[in-house]
Amino acid sequence: MAAVTPLLLLLLLSSAPSFSSESRNAYNINGRVKIPQGLGLGTKGYALPGRMSNVKVLLNGGQNITFLRPDGYFSFHNIPAGTHLIEVSAIGYFFSPVRVDVSARNPGKVQAALTENRKGLSELVLEPLREEQYYEIREPFSIMSLLKSPMGLMVGFMLAVAFLMPKLVENMDPEEMRRAQEEMRSQGVPSLSSLLPGGAMN
Amino acid sequence: MAIRSFFLFILFFSSSLSPVFSLYEDQVGLMDWHQQYIGKVKQAVFSSQRAGRKRVVVSTEENVIASLDLRHGEIFWRHLLGADDVIDGIDIGLGKYVITLSSGGSILRSWNLPDGQMVWESSLQGPKHSKSFLLVPTNLKFDKDNVLVVFSNGRLHAISCIDGEVLWKKDFEAESFEVQQVIQPPGSDLIYVVGFAASYQFEMYQINAKNGELLKHESASFSSGFSGEVSLVSTETVVALDSTGSILQTISFQDGKISSQQTPISNLVEDSLGPAVIIPSSVSGIFAIKTDAVTVFIRVIGEGKLEVVEKTTHEIAVSDALSISEDQQAFALIQHASSEIHLTVKLAHDWDGNLLKESVKMDWQRGLVHKVFINNYIRTDRSYGFRVLIVMEDHSLLLLQQGEIVWSREDGLASIIDVTTSELPVERNGVSVAKVEHNLFEWLKGHMLKLKGTLMLASPEDMAAIQSMRLKSSEKSKMTRDHNGFRKLLIVLTRAGKLFALHTGDGRIVWSHLLRSLHKSEACQSPIGLNLYQWQVPHHHAMDENPSVLVVSRCGPSSDTPGVLSFVDTYTGKELSSLSLDHAVVQVIPLPYTDSTEQRLHLLINADKHAHLYPKTSEALSIFKREFLNIYWYSVEDQNGIIKGHALKCKCTGEVADEFCFDTRDLWSVVFPSESEKIVATVTRKLNEVVHTQAKVVADQDVMYKYISRNLLFVATVAPKGSGEIGSVTPEESWLVAYLIDTVTGRILHRVTHHGSQGPVHAVFSENWVVYHYFNLRAHRYEMSVIEIYDQSRADNKDVWKLVLGKHNLTSPISLFSRPEVITKSQSYFFTHSLKAIAVTSTAKGITSKQLLLGTIGDQVLALDKRFLDPRRTVNPTQAEKEEGIIPLTDSLPIIPQSYVTHALRVEGLRGIITVPAKLESTTLVFAHGVDLFFTQLAPSRTYDSLTEDFSYALLLITIVALVAAIFVTWRLSERKELQEKWR
């Protein structure tokens, strides 16, 4: 699990407004990516594939790319006013893209919303919507799964024929039995089925 | 292993919604491979850490910054910066931070050396555009804090190395001032900024490094002007060339006074020819100039006197200076000599004495040495040892130490231009084949181990044995063709002009070949590889021939420079022949005809719209003449917004009779109004795509006919305003128009406008449908749309009575000139991610259902079932539709993590996805390339025609044995019973 650094560093930086204007037509977008510690623990012993240093933040489909500081903060510099799209690429997590409005009229105002569920954000803190599990989990071995496999069914059927059929034959009327056997003999089919007790049922 | 039985209905069984591509973690690496590269190294900095593993930090032309293990060349960490964020300089600060300056000097970042975590990022602005310099002075301290000196955008900054805070800045606003060098003499608190103003004035600024105060500003004018770069020969002397490139200016600015001396090159070198250029180097006292033929090393001996120390006609590469002690600097020099390279390490002040002289055998397939980086280490006997990192012409990176190549990286593979595939040789008697399974006992043992694994009885060692057995199964990396068509060669052309053949089984390089035709020559100044085509694919007639590929390249960046063709044998990698054309190559059209040796006919269109036929044989000409009237093609002029259709007219009417050259005529043209529409994407069907059936059975026993034509073109245009980036335009002034155009007649079959949408558009065309991805500004989300086109002219034929009475139109000729009766269906969905590439799976017979392969912005490849993009989806499908496999309509497309083809890996810098059908119908091979390479096999409808890899043969055997045993036991039992009955 990527270490989420203590909040100490964060406080130092968060005093800066989210959008600070630098020159006439260019603004900065500052935000933070937060990966909650609790999310990573559900992986049942799998090594978490992504690390904090491999997280990328992308503006407008890759027009600008930036990386995270150890405390999860990121910033884009010299962004013109308008509506932008921020995406976070982190292996192992699903982030919703975020719509960010950089307004020329009142700089410093935060206007951000997740595009997936249209949830507004009061500050630009991006959290994963869910964890992504790229591998199927192997089902533990069970007798049932073995029995359900075609070969298991085959064996099961054979056993049923071998052990249940004689029981059925036993319950039959001996007269009827003899007649059936005679019938068989008259047909004279020397097959394995005639040798088996179950064959008498035909 | 594969039981090839085409049980079609199995396809329909597999219509459950669970992700089709899914992988268990222990299956990673069985069918896929992943290779990581960095690209051609631009700059390398060695980490001088005494303890720990030795590292080298490099920046590359692919815009990667990476830390490599100096012992093995492996990547410790790596970051790919944005395409507009080109790295200008790197260095190491305080021994533990990697400093990068990028985006034309406007972004400065610091990375933690051990793990690559970004520490801080600063944005540096300035008054105007200029060259940028990054200096990391070792002894310049500022309140115990090391200082970085950055000159960028006409402003000098001093920046704290710890947190990226700007300590002071100084503007150089003079209009015409162009900075050439920023110098920080070690041991002093001064910074010199030197440059030219108005191209004939030399300016020198002396600045206090503590506070940025301007101490001195001197200038001197030189009537002869300057050209090119300047070379720094000492901390207070630079050498420059005058505007004619024939006189050397030695300018020294000691103590703030500018003095200069002029030396004509002809005084130094008698037979100097033509203008020279200065090769920048940082070795003190020495600089090099290069004319067309010779490279001359010149030493400065005090007072501006120059002396030639060496003159060579060999190709040469020089490293930067490396200070090995207080007053000694060493540098490395590499010279080529036939199959060897000579490495010499010299001291800066003593040219004739060599510290080291080594010869290393070098594969000529690597070409010339382009760059050298030197590093030293202390041997056990306390003497200095040197290692050099060299970058070759094919973009590979090698480490030389003690006369040997310690490691090499094939980083040319990071910049692939085009990919094609080739079959491997057929397995014949005499062709040596690696022993697959040695004997029955080992085979059984392997399968017993597997069974133990399935039954969860295996110990950890057993599990490891199973895993390694599966991974190195020699079956998949054999050098012969296999029954299922999984083993192939991927032929890739890289930007360096090198052709590689990669084995699909394990990704190893089978051969590599630096194309001689792509070498710089007098006729061809800067050759660029363009495309690969399959030239000869022998399968019916010419089985003894080796397959070959055609490499099309041209001599310069503009499209009217003459082209070069080369033909390469794909089994051996030998260049069979190469042709320097006397015409340009604007378009290459592979024709669907082959000659008796299975060479494919290609039509090359030049800039004057003449068509040239290749191969130039009489047989090809006779085949071509037969099909003369059936050849149509189109061209897209995206600047003018015109799409044109062409056909052949007659033989060339030029001055030289060339029977392989043809005149062409324009058939039609579609002109898009330039004020409202701009072409952003054109997509057509893959030439080799196979469609199984034209009919599509829909729910109520009805049939729809797909409109399948090879001549359909999808064109997307956007409003010119909206062709920029997202956020630059409002929804009202942006729209996207999608067209389906018939390329033979120029008829627009379908047109749809998406208001409030903009590009970039990524599209893929297959069978009778096209899927495209674009940005919806109103919802501020990405959208994907599908258009399916159906043929209505045959709809009436479904009536049995009409067929019986002969009133059907099945026998009526199909002509593209008659107006086609088509209907289209389309639907749009939201999609979360930006895309970098899009592709569709292709299978041998086109029976298997299709999957879209989406290369997302996170450099992953997602497989998405085509059924999610079916225009017949409704919110509440009827029972019949559900049975057909129609998914209830949702507003966005699902992203199922298990259907990421690349699972937990990234194909860094993803550029393209290529799919190739295997011989086995269910399976398709997928190759994704960018800076990394990734290959895997996909079965979009599961492997219905073969047993899976983890099929347990041992379990099957045991079952059979158990059954036989049971038969015998029951037989004995029944016999005994019968006997008893008889006695009774």
A121 CB within 8 Å of a chain B CB: no
Name the domain count of chain B: 5
B206-229 tens-digit pLDDT: 888 888 888 888 888 887 778 777
CA-nearest residue of chain A to B78?
A54
Confidence of residue B859 (pLDDT cuts 50, 70, 90): very high
Distance CA B799, CA B785 (A): 33
pLDDT digit string, tens, across residues B439-449 = 667 777 777 77
DSSP B102-159: ETTTTEEEEEETTT--EEEEEE---SS----EEE--SS-EETTEEEEEEEETTEEEEE
pLDDT (0 to 100) of residue B15: 39
Task: Band the pLDDT of B254: cuts 50, 70, 90.
Answer: confident
CB pairs under 8 A between A and B: 164
Which one is predicted more confidently, B119 or B814?
A: B119
Q: Does any CB of chain B come closer than 8 Å to the CB of residue A16? A: no
B897 and B854, same structural domain? Answer: yes
Question: Residue B110 phi/psi, 5° resolution?
Answer: -125, 135
**Residues B938 and B840 grouped into a single domain:** yes
**Three-state DSSP class for residue B887:** coil
Which residue's entry shows tokens 């479904």? B798
Least confident residue range of B286-295, B331-340, B657-666: B286-295
The reply to whether residue B959 touches residue A85, judged by beta carbons under 8 angstroms, is no
Query: What is the structure's pLDDT at B351?
Result: 79
Q: Give buried/exposed letters for B923-961 (b at 16+ CB in 10 A, else e).
A: bbbbbbbbbbbbbbbbbbbbbbbbeeeeebbbbeeebee
Verify whether the Cβ–Cβ distance B898 to A133 is below 8 Å. yes
The answer to whether residue A92 neighbours chain B at the CB level (below 8 Å) is: yes
Task: Nearest by CB to A155, from B79, B860, B959: name it.
Answer: B959
Q: According to the model, what pLDDT value does residue B764 have?
A: 95
Instruction: Say which of B80, B455, B904 has its CB closest to residue A49.
Output: B904
d(CA B148, CA B129): 20
pLDDT mean across residues, chain B: 83
Q: B117–A65: do the CB atoms touch at under 8 Å?
A: no
Q: Is the pLDDT of residue A183 over 90?
A: no
pLDDT at B3 over 60: no
For residue B36, pLDDT over 90 is answered with: yes
Q: Give the pLDDT confidence score for residue B813 in this predicted structure.
A: 61
Is A194 strand, coil or helix?
helix
CA gap B854, B913 in Å, rounded: 8
What residues form DSSP beta bridges with B551? Answer: B532, B566
- Please answer yes or no on whether B906 and A116 come within 8 Å at the CB atom: no
Please state, in angstroms and rounded to a whole number, the distance separating the CA atoms of residues B910 and B855. Answer: 7
B389 min Cα distance to partner chain A (Å): 27
Q: Is B730 a residue whose pLDDT tops 80?
A: yes
Three-state DSSP at B349 gives coil
Q: What share of chain B is helix, strand, coil (3-state, %, to 5)?
A: 15, 45, 40
Domain span holding position B903: 833-948
Is residue B155 a part of any domain in this protein?
no
The reply to whether residue A82 touches residue B728, judged by beta carbons under 8 angstroms, is yes
The closest CB to that of B977, out of A23, A137, A197, belongs to: A197
Same structural domain, B700 and B818: yes
Q: pLDDT at position B950, please?
A: 66
Q: In what order do the strands lie in the sheet with B214-221?
A: B177-183, B190-197, B201-208, B214-221
With a cut of 50, say whether residue B533 has pLDDT above it.
Answer: yes
Alpha-carbon distance A142 to nearest alpha carbon in chain B (angstroms): 8
CB B502 within 8 A of CB B490: yes
Q: Are residues B826 and B683 in the same domain?
A: yes
Q: In which band, very low, low, confident or very high, does the pLDDT at A51 lie, cut at 50, 70 and 90?
A: low
pLDDT at B798: 62
Instruction: Considering only the beta carbons, identify the residue of B79, B727, B832 that sits closest to A60.
Output: B727
The residue with greater pLDDT, B413 or B687, is B413
Answer yes or no: are the C-beta atoms of A1 and A52 closer than 8 Å.
Answer: no
B688 lies in the same domain as B801: yes
The pLDDT of residue B7 is above 50: no
Residues B943 and B958 in one domain: no
**Same structural domain, B906 and B943:** yes
Same-domain status, B838 and B722: no
Q: Is the pLDDT of residue A76 over 70?
A: yes
Q: What is the pLDDT of residue B477?
A: 76
Question: Average pLDDT, stretch B117-141?
Answer: 84
Chain-chain contact of B977 with A133 (C-beta, under 8 angstroms): no
All CATH 2.60.40.1120 domain ranges in chain A, comma separated:
27-38+51-131
- Indicate the residue of A87, A149, A196 with minimum beta-carbon distance to B834: A87
Token readout for B700 is 């109520």
Which amino acid, one-letter code, is at A77? H
Nearest 10 degrees: Cα torsion B402, B406, B409, B412: 30
pLDDT in tens, B891-918: 999 999 888 999 889 999 999 999 999 9
Q: How far apart are CA B952 and CA B965, in angstroms?
A: 20
Give the best-scoring range by mean pLDDT among A103-107, B10-14, B461-465, B787-791.
B787-791
Give the one of A23, A67, A195 whose C-beta lies nearest to B974's C-beta: A195
Nearest CA in chain B to A94: B897
Q: What is the 3-state secondary structure (H, E, C) of B837-852?
A: EEEECCCCCCCCCCEE
Rounded Cα distance, B551 and B571, in Å: 15
State residue B903 phi and psi, 5-degree precision. 35, -120
Q: Are residues B326 and B373 in the same domain?
A: yes
Q: Residue B99 domain-assigned?
A: no
Give the mean model confidence (pLDDT) for residues B315-333: 81
CB contact under 8 Å between B834 and A58, yes or no, is: yes
Strand duo A26-33 + A125-126: pairing: parallel
Instruction: Please state, in angstroms and as integers, the Cα–Cα distance from residue A147 to each residue in A156, B947, B959, following that order.
Output: 8, 19, 12
Exposure of B148 by Cβ count < 10 A (0-12 exposed, 13-18 middle, 19+ buried)? buried
Nearest to B137 by CA among B98, B186, B189: B186
The answer to whether B834 contacts A115, with C-beta atoms less than 8 Å apart, is no
Q: Are residues B851 and B725 in the same domain?
A: no
Identify the residue with better confidence: B852 or B434. B852
Taking Cα atoms as reference points, which of B314, B65, B393 lies closest to residue A67? B65
Q: B299 vs B736, which has greater pLDDT?
A: B736
pLDDT(B581) > 90:
no
**Does residue B416 lie within any of the structural domains?**
no
Using alpha carbons, select from B466, B472, B440 the residue that is nearest to residue B453: B466
Rounded to 5 degrees, what angle do the CA atoms B485, B490, B493 make?
160
Q: What is the mean pLDDT of residues B19-41?
A: 82
B540 confidence band (pLDDT: 50, 70, 90):
low
Q: What is the pLDDT of residues B460-472, one digit of tens each?
A: 777 777 777 766 6
Instruction: With respect to residue B467, please indicate whether it lies within any of the assigned structural domains.
Output: yes
**Is residue B618 classed exposed, middle or buried when 0-12, 13-18 and 19+ CB atoms within 10 A define those classes?**
exposed
- A23, A84, A94: residue with CB nearest B726: A84
What are the backbone angles phi and psi of residue B88, rounded to the nearest 5°? -95, -35
| DSSP code per residue over B301-346 | ETTTEEEEEEEE-S-EEEPPPEEEETTEEEEEEEEEETTEEEEEEE
Compare B30 and B458 and report the one with higher pLDDT.
Answer: B30
Lookup: tokens for A7:
């909040």
When scoring A65, A165, A191 by the number of chain B Cβ atoms within 10 A, the one with the most, hence best to mutate, is A65
Copy the structure tokens of residue B330: 């060493």
**From the CA of B976, how many Å to the nearest CA of chain A?**
11
Joined tokens for residue B130: 């200029």
- E strands, B395-473, are 397-401, 404-409, 416-423
Whether A96 sits inside 8 A of B832 (CB atoms) is yes
Q: In this structure, are B716 and B738 located in the same domain?
A: yes
B330 and B441, same domain (yes or no): no
DSSP 8-state code for residue A47: P
Mean pLDDT of A174-190: 74
| ipTM rounded to 2 decimals | 0.83
- Cβ distance of A87 and B83 shorter than 8 Å: no
Q: Does A191 touch chain B (CB under 8 A)?
A: no
Q: Which residues of B touch A60 (CB under 8 A)?
A: 725-727
- Is A91's CB within 8 Å of B77's CB? no
Is the residue at B894 inside a domain?
Answer: yes
Please check whether residue B369 is in contact with residue B385, taking contact to mean a CB–CB distance below 8 angstroms: no
Residue B918 domain-assigned (yes or no): yes
Q: Are B727 and A83 a contacting pair at CB < 8 A? A: yes
> What size, in residues, is chain A?
202
Model confidence at B243, pLDDT cuts 50, 70, 90, reads: confident
pLDDT of B280 reads 73
**From CA B852, how far away is CA B346, in angstroms rounded?**
58
Mean predicted confidence (pLDDT) in B19-31: 73
Kindly list the distances between the CA atom of residue B499 and the CA atoms of B410, B488, B495, B555, B907, in Å, as whole numbers in the listed order.
12, 16, 9, 17, 21
Query: What is residue B53's predicted lDDT score, i.e. its pLDDT?
Result: 76
* pLDDT score, position A4: 37
Contact state of A115 with B779 under an 8 Å Cβ cutoff: yes
CB B622 within 8 A of CB B616: no
In A, which residues are within 8 Å of B858 by CB distance?
Answer: 56, 87, 89-91
pLDDT in tens, B689-716: 888 888 888 877 788 888 888 889 999 9
The nearest alpha carbon in chain A to B20 belongs to A136
- For A27-38+51-131, the fitting CATH number among 1.10.10.10, 3.40.800.20, 2.70.180.20, 2.60.40.1120 is 2.60.40.1120
